Amino acid sequence: MNTYVVNRYNVPTPGATAQLITFDDATVRQFTAFNKNTKVMFMSVTEGGVFMTVDGSTPTNSNHHKLYAGNNYYFNSDLISQAKFLRDPNNTGNALIYASELTN
């Protein structure tokens, strides 16, 4: 089995600011540009679940990775720079992703 080990001692990327994506409709969203020194994104999903794709396709009911509300996720910043996000269509409320840029 292959694994990707994230440095547990990452620190905030100097000069980077946190990003927030609010999902209040069925619009596909992406994060904006990242600081060039960012290695990892620490993301928290709140209020409702979110669908994510990382292959350039649009998230749908049959094509997605689901990020669950109440969970935190670490992802490589290169991966997240390509990611597309969509509020889970089964969620009638809003969803939020709050992301911090980290480096080591």
Residue of 27, 46, 19, 20 lying closest to 87 (CA atoms): 27
Which amino acid is residue 7, in one-letter code? N
**CA 39/CA 28 separation, integer angstroms:** 24
Residue of 1, 6, 3 lying closest to 73 (CA atoms): 6
pTM of the model: 0.87
Tens place of pLDDT for every residue, the chain, 104 residues?
556 665 567 899 999 999 999 999 999 999 988 899 999 999 999 999 999 999 999 999 999 999 999 999 999 999 999 999 999 998 888 999 999 999 98
Q: Which residues, in sequence order, are CB contacts of 73 under 8 Å at separation 6+?
A: 42, 43, 44, 45, 67
